[in-house]
Chains A and B, each alone.
Chain A
Amino acid sequence: MNAGRAGHDRIRTSASTLVPTVALVLRGQRYRGLALVLFLGILGFYLVTLPSTYTGGAVGFLALRYLTGDLAACSAVLAALLSLTITVNVYGFRTSARQRGAVLSVGAVLASVVPSSVCCTSLVPSVLAALGGSTVQIFGLAGRIQGGIARFQMVSLVTAIVLLLLSLYLAASTVATSCTLTRKGGRLDATKEPAQV
C-alpha cells in the first residue's frame, strides 16, 4: 500500500513541523540571505549591548571587553532565534498568513536588553526623582530595583530565549497551516508557495 502511494503525505501541524517549516523557508535563497543578514546584525547588536551591564550602560567596543562566555552564547542564541522568527514571519506575510507571535518577539527583545540598560545606570534613580521621590525613598528603592535586575539578569536572558522560541513556533505553525506541506520523494513541498522574490 505504501508502495502504491505517490509519496505524498499530508503533514499535520504539530511541534515537529517547526524544523521542517523553517527548513522550507530557508530553501529560498533570498530568505537565507535575509536570515543571515538579520543574524549578523542582531548578533552584533547583542554583543555590544549585553556586556554594557559592566560599563554603566555604555555600549560599543568598550563593552566587548567585558563579553563573557555566557553573554556570547546568549547573544548567538537570541540572534539566531530572532532572525529566524523575523524571516519566517516575512515568509508568512508573503503568503498572506496571519502574523502571530509579534508581541512575544517584542517582549523577548525587551527582556534581553533591559537588564544591561537599567542596572547600574542613572535611569532608575532619575525616574524615581522625576516621580517626586525623596532622597530617602530613592535610596531605599533604587537599589532594590537595580540590584534585583542585576541579580536576575541571566534569568531575564533565558526568559527572552524561551519567548523567542515560542514566537518562532507560532510563526512556523502559522506558515505550516497556511500552506499544505507534503512530502514528495523525501522532500517537503508547499502546495501554496509565495512567489519567489
Chain B
Amino acid sequence: MGIAVLGLTAAASPRVAAPGPIAQVEVGGRAPDASFVTIQGTVHRLSEFRGRPVMLWLFATWCDTCRAGTAALAEHIQQLDRAGLHAIQLRLYGNLGYPGPSVREVARTDAGPAWSSSAWTWGEASKELSFTYDPKGYVDIYFLIDRNGIIRAIGGAPNATMDQILSFVQHAR
C-alpha cells in the first residue's frame, strides 16, 4: 500500500525537468564556453580567445600555493607571451568560501610589474565557469587549451608544473 501511495503521488506531481549535466571538462575535450569579469570591469567569454593557446587558471587569493604560482608565472610570462600563450587567471566564485585579498592586490603583489602584461588577463570567474571547470572545488587548477579550444592538459601549482606549461606552448606553436 505504501508503494501504491508513492506511485500515485509521483504520478500527480508536476514533471520537473532534471537539471542539465555540467559540461564534461576533460583532457581531449572541448573547453566549454563561459563568462568572466576582468579586474577592469569588462565581461568576456572564453570563446573570444579562440585561435591562440590559453592557460585558464582558477585560484583562490588566500591560497599560498596559488600566490607562489603567480610569482612563478610572472617569471615566465614574457617567454610564454613570445610563444603566443595568453594566461587568464580568475578568482574562483566566492573565493571558494573564504575571504582573501582582491585579485588586483594579488596581481600587483605577487606578479610585480609583469601583472600588466598584455598576455595576462586577471578577473573573477562567474559561478557558471567555476562550477563547470572546477566542480570538485580544487583551490588551484589550470587548463591548457589549444588554438582550437581543445583542452590539452589539466594541472595545478604552476610553480611546480612549469615544465608542463612550457611543453604545451612549444607544441602549440
Q: Does B139 contact A (CB under 8 A)?
A: yes
The answer to whether A139 touches B160 (Cβ under 8 A) is no
**Contacts known (A120-B64, A142-B97, A150-B63); A55 close to B159, Cβ less than 8 A:** yes
Q: Does A106 contact B (CB under 8 A)?
A: no
* Pick from A57, A58, A142: contact of B96, CB under 8 Å: A142
Q: Does A113 contact B (CB under 8 A)?
A: no
Q: In the docked arrangement, what's the CA distance between A20 and B131, Å?
A: 60
**Contacts known (A125-B137, A146-B139); A53 close to B65, Cβ less than 8 A:** yes
Chain A's closest residue to B141 (CB) is: A122
Q: Which residues of B contact A62 (CB under 8 A)?
A: 159-160
The answer to whether B97 touches A139 (Cβ under 8 A) is yes
Q: Which residues of A contact B80 (CB under 8 A)?
A: none
The answer to whether B138 touches A58 (Cβ under 8 A) is no
Chain B nearest CB, measured from A97 CB (Å): 42
Tally of contact residues, A, Cβ under 8 A? 30
Q: Does A107 contact B (CB under 8 A)?
A: no
The answer to whether A151 touches B136 (Cβ under 8 A) is no
- From residue 46 to 92 of chain A, which have CB atoms closer than 8 A to chain B? 53-58, 62, 66
* Pick from B68, B96, B157: contact of A147, CB under 8 Å: B96
Q: Which residues of B contact A147 (CB under 8 A)?
A: 60, 62-63, 96-100
Q: Does B140 contact A (CB under 8 A)?
A: yes
The answer to whether B130 touches A139 (Cβ under 8 A) is yes
B interface vs A, CB < 8 Å?
Answer: 22, 60, 62-69, 92-100, 130-131, 135-140, 156-157, 159-160
A interface vs B, CB < 8 Å?
Answer: 53-58, 62, 66, 119-122, 125-126, 128-129, 135-136, 138-144, 146-148, 150-151
Instruction: Given A57-B157, A143-B60, A147-B97, output 18 extra A-B contacts at Cβ < 8 Å.
Output: A54-B159, A55-B65, A120-B63, A129-B136, A135-B22, A138-B135, A138-B137, A139-B92, A139-B130, A140-B94, A140-B97, A142-B96, A142-B97, A146-B63, A147-B60, A148-B98, A150-B64, A151-B62
| A and B contact pairs by CB, cutoff 8 A, 23 listed | A54-B159, A55-B159, A56-B65, A56-B69, A56-B160, A57-B65, A57-B157, A58-B160, A62-B159, A119-B63, A120-B140, A129-B136, A135-B22, A135-B135, A138-B135, A139-B94, A142-B97, A143-B94, A143-B137, A146-B98, A147-B99, A147-B100, A150-B62
